[in-house]
Structure 1
Amino acid sequence: MKFDFKLSSDKQRLPPMGLIVLQVDETIETEFRQAFNDSQDQLFVTRIPSGLEVTAKQLSNMEGNIKAAANLLPQSREYSVVGYGCTSASAIIGSEKISDLIKSGCSVKNVTNPLLAATEYGKHLGVTKLALLSPYIEEVNTPLRKAFENSGLSIEIFGTFGEEKEEKVARISEISTTKAAISLGQNISVEAVFISCTNLRTFGCLDEISKQIDKPVFSSNQSLAWHMKKLSLESA
């Protein structure tokens, strides 16, 4: 038996958001569920091939797959914003290049990434002097620090866990992150702390770190979610 049906209209719904997640990322989707817990916006997720280790070469190699990853998002509607979920690759590939590749793979008004989002959130807070905590090895840390400096955010003090294996980064305890971030954030020249990497768990410790040092503390996933919400509202 075949039934007739009617189609519901998309006119009353905000345009959806899209998120490109690294194949090895075990954290961002969980933290985004928390960030968008009170939101009715649609968020579609696609994955991009990525290496088991966080090295400059592996990060750079992702450039060739960004368009294809964006193209795997549902193509029935235009997106208000698509976020590319990798801070360190954004520093190496560049925000403008990433935006061009994503726009060539899907219909979207705005593109952001954790690096761009963090710089925008820093401006929102009115801070220019950061403590930066990362899980990366030095060949990845160097372009990341440079990218922040080029965006007008001075890295006053820097710390790293020095880990290149993604599966270990995803399992760094929030206790370890809290201790490291507090140590960096206590520096008197620092106005705020940024914790880098979408695969590093931070949502359970951001408030505690901020409370302990009495300064703003933000992370890759927190910044990216904030910026995507902002861009989505602005494009509505």
Structure 2
Amino acid sequence: MASQTLATARAQHRPLFRYDGDGSLARIGLIYMASSVVMESEMWAMAAEGVSIHTTRIKLPKVTVEGIEQMMNAPQLEEAARLLGSAPIDVLCFGGTSASFLHGTAYDHALTEKLKLWAPGKKINTASTATLAALRAVRAGPIALATPYVDGVHQRAIRFLEENGHEVLRHRNLGIDKDTELAQVSLDEVYDLVRSVDHPDATAVFISCTNFRSAGALEAMETALGKPVISAIQASFWHCLTIAGVKGARPGFGNLMRDVTA
């Protein structure tokens, strides 16, 4: 009894510690492009206390069909997945949208199976799988599409969405092929791009690319358009939390996040 009293007294006089970013709720492992910077910062911005993000990077030569294929066929991908899978993470997320939809739905499914093999025992998520799950969650049908991609990659985004039942009623792309330049597009420009592609019959707007800013403007875009606006980064983070079974998002990042907001 005396020892319990002493322990209680010591606990009562213990100093207050600050939150240090520990992933006590969920640890998200992220495979991300070496030259990209947006997805990590937006995920941290959306993450509530108790959710942490841990990254392994792979090299993307150029944001073209050929450059993405080179990245996906390089041995670095397997090495990154195995390294990340060795950490005590709850979910492994492949943070490349175009890289996972490049050759359609079957290609994305095959990527998921490879990641399961390379990181056994981890829950697996890709940006493209997360996108489809997010569109289902907001009950989207026909959509509008905004991307920063070159034409060849943009057209594959349209094909992927339409083969999964989402007719793309209006779309626009910025034609950027350098990864570092994707992150330099301002939130004001993204906001204007999204408003320009909206269509009265579109049930949602999708913003593709995980090195393209949007999180800080999602709520403003939804208010302006009166419909869900889904970004690839937001969808990826939401889906990681969903399959981890935790409410680990801060408020203010779009209607999609309501069910996982802490």
TM score, norm. by length of structure 1: 0.86
Alignment match of 1:16 (pick from 7, 12, 27): 27
Residue correspondence of structure 1 range 116-131 to structure 2 within 5 A: 116-131=129-144
Structure with max Cα Rg: 2
Alignment match of 1:48 (pick from 58, 73, 79): 58
Change beyond 3 A, Cα 1:116–1:159: same
Residue correspondence of structure 1 range 18-167 to structure 2 within 5 A: 18-36=29-47, 38-51=48-61, 53-64=62-73, 65-73=76-84, 75=86, 77=88, 79-92=89-102, 94-167=107-180
Q: Residue in 1 aligned with 2:245?
A: 233
Q: Residue in 2 aligned with 1:7?
A: none
Alignment match of 2:236 (pick from 224, 229, 235): 224
1:55-85, CA deviations, whole angstroms, 9 ceiling, x for partnerless residues?
00111122233211111216154x4321101
Deviation at 1:96, TM superposition (A): 1.5
Amino acid paired to 1:75:
S
Instruction: State how far apart, in whole Å, the 2-side matches of 1:84 and 1:28 are.
Output: 11
User: Is 2:206 the partner of 1:194?
Assistant: yes
Deviation at 1:107, TM superposition (A): 2.4
Alignment gaps of 5+ in structure 2: 1-23, 247-262
Q: Give me the identity figure in percent.
A: 25
Amino acid paired to 1:190:
A
Structure 1 runs (4+) deviating above 3 angstroms are: 13-16
Change beyond 3 A, Cα 1:62–1:104: farther
Asked if the contact 1:66–1:98 (Cα under 8 Å) also holds between the matched residues in 2, the reply is: no
Asked if the contact 2:179–2:211 (Cα under 8 Å) also holds between the matched residues in 1, the reply is: yes
Q: Residue in 1 aligned with 2:257?
A: none
Change beyond 3 A, Cα 1:45–1:129: same
| Higher mean displacement: 162-171 or 38-47 | 38-47
Instruction: State how far apart, in whole Å, the 1-side matches of 2:150 and 2:55 are.
Output: 28
Instruction: State how far apart, in whole Å, the 2-side matches of 1:45 and 1:98 are.
Output: 18
- The 3-state SS of whatever aligns with 2:242 is helix
| Count of residue pairs the alignment pairs up | 218
Instruction: State how far apart, in whole Å, the 1-side matches of 2:85 and 2:129 are.
Output: 24
Deviation at 1:15, TM superposition (A): 6.3
Instruction: State how far apart, in whole Å, the 2-side matches of 1:54 and 1:68 are.
Output: 21
- The 3-state SS of whatever aligns with 2:57 is strand
- The 3-state SS of whatever aligns with 2:51 is coil
| Higher mean displacement: 127-136 or 39-48 | 39-48
Alignment gaps of 5+ in structure 1: 1-12
Instruction: State how far apart, in whole Å, the 2-side matches of 1:227 and 1:76 are.
Output: 20
Instruction: State how far apart, in whole Å, the 2-side matches of 1:164 and 1:217 are.
Output: 24
Alignment match of 1:175 (pick from 185, 188, 196): 188
User: Is 2:219 the partner of 1:210?
Assistant: no
TM score, norm. by length of structure 2: 0.78
Deviation at 1:173, TM superposition (A): 1.0
1:18-73, CA deviations, whole angstroms, 9 ceiling, x for partnerless residues?
1101111111110010121x14134321111211x200011112223321111121
Asked if the contact 1:82–1:108 (Cα under 8 Å) also holds between the matched residues in 2, the reply is: no
